[in-house]
Structures are given as structure tokens and as C-alpha cells.
Amino acid sequence: MESNKEYFYPLWLRIWHWLNALLFLLLIFTGVNMQYANPKSPIIEFHTAVTLHNVSGITLTLNYLFFFILNFVSGNFKQYIPKFKNFISNLVLQAKYYLNGIFKNEDHPFETSKDQKFNPLQQFTYLQIMYAVLPIMVISGWALLFPEVLIKQIFGISGLTLTDIVHTIGAFFLSIFMIGHIYLATTGNTVLSNFKAMVTGWHLSHEEEAESQIFSTEEVSNEN
Amino acid sequence: MKKIIFAFTSVILLSLHLFANTKIVDAKEINQNCFRCHSMATLSYKDESTGIIKNLAVIPDEFYKSNHKNLSCIDCHSKDFQKFPHAANLKKENLYCLDCHKNEEKFKKFHFQTIEEEFKQSIHYKKMGDKFTCFDCHDPHSFKINARVNREIKETVLYDNQICLKCHDNTSTIKNLSGQLLPALNVSHSWLPHIDLHWKSVRCIDCHTSPNAPGVSHLILPKDQAVKNCVECHSKNSILLQSLYKFQTKQERDREGFINAVILNNSYVIGATRNYYLNLLSFIIFGIVLAALSIHGILRWKSHKGTLDGK
């Protein structure tokens, strides 16, 4: 039984993850409330939404820096770097699984391990979310906190407007990501096992024979 | 009878039109005479009765950019001013915007009469009476309309706010007029976040007047009736569409089909800046994602049912 469990997620990562999740929810909720502000049925007052959004955004920035540094120091960032070898075909393989194999109760095409926590699709998405979209959101968000630093006009459109549009589009993608992320988290061993792992840090491997696979992927990653 | 009057006025209008150019030249010559003295920035005297220093300077550059640029000084002022020293009785001369602007067809679109009524109900007039006039906000020698004609909203905002700030940024003017001090604007508006951004993007009168005016609203309300609720601007039916963006939305609606184009190009008012097509697109994408995930989930649940039950 012990051998089936592996310590995947160190404490710092779990703290970061759940704080991040909470802030995402707050930011999306308050953000949508501002973008679609309705005087007749305010779920939350505009002024409150703005304040809450700003506080959450600042906290998210700190949390992101925390993640960025520890992810680097701990070496965890390597998880995010996709393997060039068979990059496309691996993506296709994983996508095929979600579209077909999963209904036939097939095994996940890429067994996860301590050194390979993400499947290729996750790797591809997380890399973009964590190292492209989120930084863009943080930077544009801070620019909106201090609009006077923005360039006044870019091609006849106000710099503030452009920043707002970038921020809104980024937020849209993050909302979509979040829904997909939560849903795919239910595709673990059982519906809740991935959530449990993110709380306890201990990941439950799929089957007994998974061990051999873990071994082989370890070898692969050692080659790099 | 009517016909005769009509013919008569036509002739007058026509001749006015024909001579318009020579008239302007004449006007400039007369003005030149007055500007010899009145363009001096320091020309002023101290009013003995009130002790206030009255500035008599008229800046030619500003005058020739103003709404009254085509007029000569003595179109408004008495011809007797051409003599110097000016006769003492000329001091009593009392000019008023409505004297000239009351019934003319040409000025109808400005709704002078409504403006006057609104002004009489405004908090300024109620508190200070005849001490406060149109000229406190509109210098007849430099005033030019802005919101109606200027497509740069930020410029309009700057111009219009300058009108109010002339007094409200200047404690001594306020004290002279009302005998008391008002709190600094940054203090009385500290509830407003991004205060500098708002000062540049939105006018004092957008919050401080009732927006239901045919022209530019002049009904400055008591402070407790000012707009404080953010969503009055930051929502789909933003009051700004009836005030600040009023003259632009009409044009843009004809040209580009939907209202928000105007705001989009000039400023981003969260809550109000919405593009119908982008909104629709995002709702559709969102819907598809949700639907796809639900279907996926149901299929998974069906195919896994046996296994899950077993566990």
C-alpha cells in the first residue's frame, strides 16, 4: 500500500495552489461584477467589487512571486518544460484519451510520477497559463492600479483602453481554463482523488503495476 | 403683411451675408483700437465700493478663438467706449447673455431659455443670488462651446472642468463669494478611487447636474444630490450617454451602428464599455465549453458507473 502513495506536492506548493484558487474565484467574481455591472441587481456593490478586486490582485501578485521563486529554487519548474521529442504526437495521444479512451476505462496514456507530474497537455497549458497569461494579467492589473503610468495613445486608442481590453481577454481565458482545470481534476483515480492529493500532498498511483512505469519514465527524464 | 416682412428680412439677411466679410474686417479694426489698451494683461482698477481688483484685460488670441470672434467690441459694448477717457455713466452698462440670445432661431439648439431657468434653480444661484451670473463661468471674451463640437472628449473634460476649478481650486474666490471655505476637492471626493483619472475623464457637471436637459445641463444640484453611485456611470445605461457623450453618441450611432464605439475609442468605462459582438462571442464560447464538459462528464459517469460502484 505504501508504495502506491507518493509525496507529490510539497507544503509550499499546496498553500500556493489553494490560495491561488481562492484568489482566482474572487477575482473572477468581482471582475464579472464590474464588467457586467447592473444597477438594478447588484450582487455586490461596484465600489466593494473594485476594492476587493484590487486587494485580491495585489495578494495574487505576492502569491505569484512566491510561486515563481520557490518553483525555481525547488527545481519544480522543470515540470513545466515540455519535452521536444514527440511533442505534438504526445499532445494528440493525451487529447485522444480524453475524447475516447477515458470512456472505455483505458489507462491514462502517461502515468504520473514525482518527476513527471503533468501529462503533456497539462504541461503545455500550465506553461502558458503560469508563465504567459498570468504575468500578463499581473502586469496589466498593476498598470490599471496606476493608470497614470500608461502610454496615453497607441494608434489613436487610449493606452488605458488597450490595457483594459488585454486584461479582460486574459481574464476570459483564465475563467475558461479554471472551469476546464476543475473538471479535468475529477478525472483522477476517483472523482475526488486529485483534490485529496492537492490537500494532503500524497498522490495515489493508479495500479500496482504502475510502479514499473514510474520507473521507466524516471529513466527517460534522467536522460535529459 | 407677413410676406413683406419675410422679403424684408431676406434682403437684410442677404446683405448681411454679402457684407459679412467686410464687416469682420471692420470689426477687427475697431477691436484693434480697443486692444491698444485692453490687451495689456495688467490693465485693471480697484473697485472703491467692494475693494475687489477688476481686471480689464481681454486677450486677443482667446477672443479670436471664442464664439464671439466675429463680433466687434462695440457690437456688445456701447459705441461710446470708443472715446477715452470712457464716460463715467458707461460703468452702469449691464450686459446679459440672454439679451442677445433669447429668441433667435440660430441659437435655438443651445436652449438658452432652458439654461437660464436651470441656472436660476442651481445651488449657486439659490445660495448667492445675483452675485453669481453666467459670466462667472463664461467669460464673454473667451468662452467657446466644446462638448457639442469637440470630438476629443478629454479636451472637453479639461475645458469644462477648468470652468469650475477657476473657483473650486481657489479658496480665496470661494471665500469672497460665500464667506466660508469648502473642503478641498480631493477631500470631499476621497470616496472616489483613481481620482486623477476621473478628473481627466469625467466632468464635474456629469455628477453635479441633473442629466435630463435638452442641451448642456446647468442645474447644479445641492451636494447631497450629486452622483455617488458608481454604477450610474459604470453600467450599460451609463448616464454619461446623456451627458458627456451626448453629442458624440448621436453622430457615432449613425455612423458606426452601435453606441459603444465612441466610448471605446476615447476611454474605457468598466461596466459601460461593452461591445455587443464580443459579448455575444464570449457567451457562446463559454456556453460551448460548459456544454462540452457536461456531456463529457455524463458520458464518463455512464461508462464508469460499474467500476465506481464496485469501489
Answer yes or no: do A160 and B299 touch at CB < 8 A. Answer: no
Answer yes or no: do B285 and A176 touch at CB < 8 A. Answer: yes
Mean pLDDT of chain A: 82
pLDDT in tens, A31-85: 998 988 877 777 888 999 999 999 999 999 999 999 999 989 988 888 888 777 7
CA A198 to each of CA A114, A192, B122: distance values in angstroms, whole numbers, following the listed order: 14, 10, 63
A→B interface, C-beta within 8 Å: 34-39, 42, 45-47, 50-51, 98, 102-105, 147-148, 156-158, 160-161, 164-165, 172, 175-176, 179-180, 183, 186-187, 190-191
State the average pLDDT over residues B237-263.
63
Q: What residues does each domain of chain A span?
A: 5-223
B→A interface, C-beta within 8 Å: 191, 193-194, 196-197, 229-232, 234-237, 264-268, 270-271, 273-274, 282, 285-286, 289-290, 293, 296-297, 299-300, 303-304, 307-308, 311
Whole-number Å distance between alpha carbons of B156 and B244: 9
pLDDT in tens, B19-66: 444 556 678 888 898 998 899 888 888 877 777 778 889 999 999 999
Residue B298 · residue B304 · CB < 8 Å: no
Residue B85, preceding bond cis, omega within 30 degrees? yes
pLDDT in tens, B145-170: 988 888 788 889 999 999 999 999 98
Give A205's pLDDT tier (boundaries 50, 70, 90): low
Report helix, strand or coil for B201: helix
Q: What residues does each domain of chain B span?
A: 100-228
CA dihedral sign, ordered B92, B98, B102, B105: positive
Whether residue B285 has pLDDT greater than 60: yes
Q: What percent of chain B has pLDDT over 90?
A: 28
| ipTM at complex level | 0.75
Q: Which residue in A46, A148, A180 is closest to B234 by CB distance?
A: A46
The H or E element spanning position A158 is strand A157-158
Predicted confidence at residue B209, as pLDDT, reads 92
- Whole-prediction pTM value? 0.83
The H or E element spanning position B298 is helix B276-310
Cβ atoms within 10 Å of A182's Cβ, excluding its own: 12
CA distance B93 to chain A (A): 47
CA distance B304 to chain A (A): 7
Residue B203 · residue B161 · CB < 8 Å: yes
Pick the CATH number of A5-223 from 3.40.630.30, 3.40.50.620, 3.90.580.10, 1.20.950.20: 1.20.950.20
